[in-house]
Amino acid sequence: KAGVTQTPRYLIKTRGQQVTLSCSPISGHRSVSWYQQTPGQGLQFLFEYFSETQRNKGNFPGRFSGRQFSNSRSEMNVSTLELGDSALYLCASSFSGIPEAFFGQGTRLTVV
């Protein structure tokens, strides 16, 4: 069974640009969560989607948004990029009612 796939793996963007990251969950998983990981802040929760609905949202500015499609694939978008947005973005999927989550390898975003 294929794992969680995040694309792209690496990305370099310029300040002010926007970026879209993609996450394909494990087949059958309807819950997808996103995290930002930086050396100083650890794992920060961005948002969680379930059946195309945002179920929870972390404390991030409105520049960070996401969505989930009917096939459970999810995207997150960051607009007007700032240097501080440089981070590893992780996506996790889980089966409804099962606490164990499966993570993708992440997308390393560098903003220059």
Partner 1 sequence: SQQGEEDPQALSIQEGENATMNCSYKTSINNLQWYRQNSGRGLVHLILIRSNEREKHSGRLRVTLDTSKKSSSLLITASRAADTASYFCDINHLTFGTGTRLTIIP
Give the residue, chosen from 15, 17, 43, 96, that forms a contact with partner 1 under the rule CB under 8 A.
43
Binding of partner 1 by 92 (CB under 8 A): yes
- The binding track of 45-84 with respect to partner 1, each residue x by CB under 8 A or -, is x--x------------------------------------
49 contacts: CB under 8 Å, gap ≥ 6: 31, 32, 33, 55, 66, 67, 68, 74
Q: How far apart are CA 102 and CA 13, in angstroms?
A: 27
Tokens of 77: 């978008």
Binding of partner 1 by 90 (CB under 8 A): yes
Which bin fits 91, alpha (ψ -120 to 50), beta or left (φ > 0)? beta
Instruction: Provide, rounded to whole angstroms, the least separation between the CB of residue 46 and partner 1.
Output: 11
The binding site for partner 1 (CB under 8 A) comprises 4, 33, 35, 41-43, 45, 48, 88, 90, 92, 94, 99-106, 108
